[in-house]
Structure 1
């Protein structure tokens, strides 16, 4: 049995090993017959800790990096407001390092974190990068602007408290000093809205009197928004095909008065392809497969649609065809209609897709047992199909809810996306799965086929959008920059750009060739759930959780108008084929028409005076279940459904408006 002294040594050794210093001192006092005379350990003054931290150049990097990571991992609702503090803190941390003659550490700090602020503050970053010693800080005009004035910010009360508590809990005294000395944060209770109901303008952000660029300068990057220049050989073949059709019809009507139908199409084609108001991508900028004879016929059909297109405007509203899905039991997540209105597809929570024909035809899939060696052309393929067919086809393959579906321009393919992190390509000829595309790390919310086929894009919970081609199983481009989920994605009509909307309340436009962001649009006060680009490629509309629609000029990146009238989330927006009218639909069970004519962007537009539209508006206004909201001057008409939220709205080439949604009666009915 060990002696008491041995036990004391064992206990003392254990306390030293575990680092229990306070307990060790008490134990030693009890062992000594006389009180141990040792100076009491006084707590280090807070000011000395602060001075020690400030003198440590690594503290700037450690504290800023920790704050940055905390903000990136914060709730999506607070992230945009919290992120606004990063730039002024970054600037003053850099200037602090330079003032202390720590030029090496300052350069490293600038190179490490300046990428976070390039989109909004490129001019200031370029000027600050030339400030490399303490003398520069005293002489540089921009540095003195930041040092002599407070940087104005507005923040809601909850994220402001979270921000301060985080700095205090982690004892980031260096950052607290910068916030107290150089930032002026005005705490706003509630949402950051101005008196007009929109997001606060930039005049309250930044240093008063200093144009720190915000987004305007970033959005001055050159873009090519026109239609791509056509393949010269394709253009020649199309012109010859139109002339041949015209001559053939002329021969058939040799004994009758003849009026050319195809030569006007030729002039229409030249007019569409020779729009000089915007810069056009050169031929070959967007690599595409060689054209086929079917492409030639598709172009002729498109020109015929243009010739028969109904012009729309305030006095000529479109006809609307609404498809309502019953007995979906709230499991229909998405729906889309093909461009020629021949097929409709819906994605369901039970992991499958359904396709219906809108032409009254039976859909015929392949028989269970076929020999691929016997299939050489479409005639052989048709012989291998079912004899009778069915009203709809169910496409099974995903292992999670389906959130997005999109038809290819020629209707031969359908692409879908799901919670299972994949996209799938389906054939609408055989109703079978052709390819599985894997790459996203989280659920995929939306998918869109390119205007020329071959390419499609996806939007995901992993905060990225991706570009794919049908012949590659891996993504071609990854578009990263959003702070939260990318909820929607749309191609620009020339296929050179992608537009994405996000829960971070911003919209971005990306160059598909470089993967770089070329436009950032800010102004929404809620997540952006839908975007649309006008057929002429000049404008973009975005909408979502804030119940408002904003129309943007893609060339300048500026907001043209903000339109209000919806009383709930907006699910879909689309431009008419002639760019004059915008349709929107959403959870308030309405379809609304808006005037977006370029000539009326800044002028009031009166409501139309048709008796039918007046009656519908009166019925809608009398519905007590709907909240009263102010309808902006661009509002042309509202078409309410009874209990059908409209998930998708679009226009055909002839300006017929097609909308679709799932019937959802009240719970007490």
Structure 2
């Protein structure tokens, strides 16, 4: 009974002890307890050996350099394919994980793998963290980590983040479900994620997140460094032969005009005449100082029509009205009736002779703004058999019609753009294609396929040879009319590219996206050279000033941001619209900005006023005036002062408001003479609306 009891309590060698006692050996209590202690020690040693083996196995797995690349690659791909609503918050964890993965590889002497890891993934973070990446790239040996101040800061401090509940749960569940123990260790050891209730509203595409706090005392937002890349914002330098031909043509025109004036008895000879040649020389010297060289942007050989277009442009400069606070632009509004909410986009030629609309029924309509009938080819004529323009005119219809209907797309048409010479129209659609149409024959010439999602916007370049598209696949693409495949793909936005616009020198392209950022791309390299953050809603429209120095963006947050393209900094924020903003346009002299949108109003803004200084001075003056008052007089609080100063600044910057009856404005364009053309679709109120 005693032996059975002792065995249950763990004394397994009790029979041997009792046999020793039977032989007359003296057995003490210490012998019995020692026997149990030995058994426990053996079991503990066995368990420790098993745990050590397991820990060693896990460490070996963690030390596998391939896991860093594999785990990070999978996490990155999962975040890129996640919902756009959560993507900015999820993307904020990538940089600290990238940094510590790289430092771990270096500390474990996996130098080749570390360099490969840095080269493969650093482009994801170059926009926001260029200074940190430059320093970390120099950490190439284990002892560098101990000597490098930035590496030690990342090693010894936690990277602070804020995330809302749903993306945080998705992130942790993804790591746990896929057994990414390596990433979990980095998150637990080096990240401090604070979970907040609701959505972080002021996130800007992952680039200006309120949720990213970073390491205390270290500048997290390093976008300014990225935006210091050199850019050439001046207009193109003309080809020497082309420039010489234009000058000779202008000399002939000036000489003929002078002779005509001398024969005219009513002409006042004392009145100075403005020479087109002088205007051209001033134009060339003014706008090509820092522009790209003629060979930077390949263009077709110039033709006689290019010289004629240049002469017409110089003539229009003489008739251009300078705009200012005391001289507001004349605005001509074209309203489309009975569209039944099916008109999606509108485009107007620069000389205000043609207007086109894209409809949800998959077709495009073109009207003449001069009241002329539009004539296409007779039905019996094959466009391929037309030899020249004289032959084209002979083969056209005799009477023509009020408008022309262009049928070809198989989905709603979302974007339109006329070429500068108004001979072509390009359209984009939900059917993932872009089509080039002739405005001479009103036929479809080319179908461009490349996007794998609906195409939202299209814009012809300033020279008519290139055009760009933006689509739901989060890319913008550069095309030329003589190639059916895209020449460049601009990838970097986190969501749909909703709008595209060429820079006046054709070397750059501006895009606006649903990720609440706009970007400036170099069309030669395909690289992003500027990132603009600050909007709290999708960007639906962008505009570049004719002098190439300013850019404006607007959209769902009902505000307009004015940017300096040279520095990448925001000049000011313009507020006053009460609805989404659909269109922006700078005047021909770059002094005035006009906007329109869903609030049925056209707003005219002064782009030269510095609102930042005005706000500060006005607020300070208000505070001083109240400080000098008698104590008994009630003092306005800061909020009321800010509200008053805000109203003052809005009235200073917004020069005028022109309301329509019930017409949201889809398109705004200035002619070379500073006439503003706006267009929209009349939307009658429903019976139950008041």
Which TM bucket (shorter chain)? 0.7 to 0.9
Stretch deviating more after TM superposition (249-258 or 525-534): 249-258
Deviations 1:573-616 (A, max 9, x none): 1111111111111122222121111666743699xxxxxxxxxx
User: Which residue pairs with 1:620 in the alignment?
Assistant: none
Contact 2:287–2:547 (CA<8 Å) still a contact in 1? no
Q: Does residue 554 of the first structure (1) align with residue 565 of the second (2)?
A: yes
SS in 2 for 1:274: helix
Sort the Cα spacing of 1:49 and 1:660 in 2 relative to 1 into closer, same or farther, 3 A.
farther
The Cα shift of 1:97 comes to 2.4
Pairing partner for 2:239 from 226, 231, 244: 231
Q: Would the aligned equivalents of 1:124 and 1:212 in 2 still touch at CA under 8 Å?
A: no
- 2:149 is aligned to 141
Cα separation, 2, equivalents of 1:581 and 1:179: 50
> Residues of 1 paired with 2:538 and 2:103: CA distance?
35
Q: Counterpart in 2 of 1:359? A: 370
CA contact 1:99–1:134 (8 Å) conserved in 2 = yes
Give the structure-1-normalised TM-score. 0.84
Contact 1:242 1:263 in 2 (8 A): no
Q: State the alpha-carbon separation in 1 of the partners of residues 541 and 454 from structure 2.
A: 17
Task: Report the structure, 1 or 2, having the larger helix content.
Answer: 2
Name 2:115's counterpart in structure 1: 107
Please report how far the alpha carbon of residue 539 of structure 1 lies from its aligned counterpart in structure 2 after TM superposition. Answer: 0.9
Partner in structure 1 of residue 78 of structure 2: 70
Instruction: After TM superposition, list the pairs within 5 Å mapping 1:49-64 onto structure 2.
Output: 54-64=62-72
Matches within 5 A, 1:180-329: 180-190=188-198, 192=200, 205-211=213-219, 214-255=222-263, 256-258=267-269, 263-275=274-286, 279-329=290-340
> Retained in 1: the 8 A contact 2:356–2:367?
yes
SS of 2:614's equivalent in the other structure is coil
Q: What does residue 82 of structure 1 align with?
A: 90
Asked whether 1:509 is paired with 2:509, we answer no
Asked if structure 1 preserves the Cα contact closer than 8 Å seen for 2:92 and 2:212, the reply is: no
Task: Choose from 650, 653, 676 the match for 1:657.
Answer: 676
Match of 1:93 among 96, 101, 104: 101
Shift of 1:66: 2.1
Measured against aligned partners, the alpha-carbon deviations of 1:120-177 in whole angstroms (never above 9, x if no partner) come to 2233223222323332222211101111222233434443343334334444343233
Contact 1:153 1:183 survives alignment (8 Å): yes
Write the deviation string for residues 194-216 of structure 1: whole angstroms up to 9, x where unpaired: 79xxx968896433333466221
Contact 1:566 1:629 survives alignment (8 Å): no
Q: How many residues align?
A: 606
Aligned to 2:475: 464
Q: In 2, Cα distance between the equivalents of 1:634 and 1:192?
A: 31
Equivalent residues in 2 for 1:232-631 (5 A)?
Answer: 232-255=240-263, 256-258=267-269, 263-275=274-286, 279-370=290-381, 375-597=386-608, 602-603=613-614, 631=650
- How far apart, CA to CA, are the structure 2 residues paired with 1:202 and 1:151? 14
Kindly report the root-mean-square deviation, in angstroms, between the aligned alpha carbons of the 2 structures. 3.1
Pair 1:121–1:278, CA change in 2 (3 A): farther
Q: C-alpha distance in 2, partners of 1:492/1:453? A: 13
Structure 1 residues 125 and 632: alpha-carbon distance in aligned structure 2, compared to 1, 3 A threshold: farther
Change (3 A) 1:510 1:194: closer
Are residues 331 and 276 of structure 1, via their aligned partners in 2, closer, same or farther at CA, if it must alter by over 3 Å? closer
1:107 alignment partner, SS class: helix
Structure 2 residue aligned with 1:640, among 659, 665, 675? 659
CA distance in 1, matches of 2:551, 2:498: 16
Does the Cα contact within 8 Å between 2:559 and 2:576 map onto a contact in 1? yes
Unpaired segments ≥5 residues, structure 2: 1-46, 618-646
Larger mean CA deviation between 279-288 and 171-180 belongs to 171-180
Give how far 1:191 is off: 5.4
Contact kept in structure 1, 2:665 and 2:679, CA below 8 Å: yes
Alignment partner, residue 160 of structure 1: 168
Instruction: Give the equivalent residue in structure 2 for 1:5.
Output: none
TM-aligned CA deviation for residue 304 of structure 1:
1.7
Go from structure 1 to structure 2 and tell me whether the alpha carbon gap of 1:412 and 1:194 turns closer, same or farther (over 3 Å shift).
Answer: closer
Q: CA deviation at 1:642?
A: 2.6
Q: CA deviation at 1:333?
A: 1.0
Q: TM-score, normalised by structure 2?
A: 0.81
Cα displacement string for residues 286-341 of structure 1 (whole angstroms, at most 9, x for unaligned residues)? 11112222211211111122111111122222121111111111111111111011
- Asked whether the 8 Å contact 2:157–2:215 carries over to 1, the reply is yes
Shift in Å, 1:93 = 1.5
User: Aligned equivalents of 2:276 and 2:152: distance in 1?
Assistant: 63
Judge conservation of contact 1:565–1:630 (CA < 8 Å) in 2: no
The change in CA–CA distance for 1:487 and 1:203 in structure 2 (over 3 A counts) is closer
**For residues 348 and 445 of structure 1, what CA distance do their matches in structure 2 show?**
13
**Shift of residue 254, structure 1, vs aligned partner:** 3.2
The answer as to whether partners of 2:348 and 2:355 remain within 8 angstroms in 1 is: yes
Deviations along 1:173-194, one digit per CA (max 9) or x if unpaired, are 4323323332233445455467
Q: Which structure 1 segments of 5+ residues have no match?
A: 1-38, 607-627
Partner Cα distance (2:72, 2:415) in 1: 39
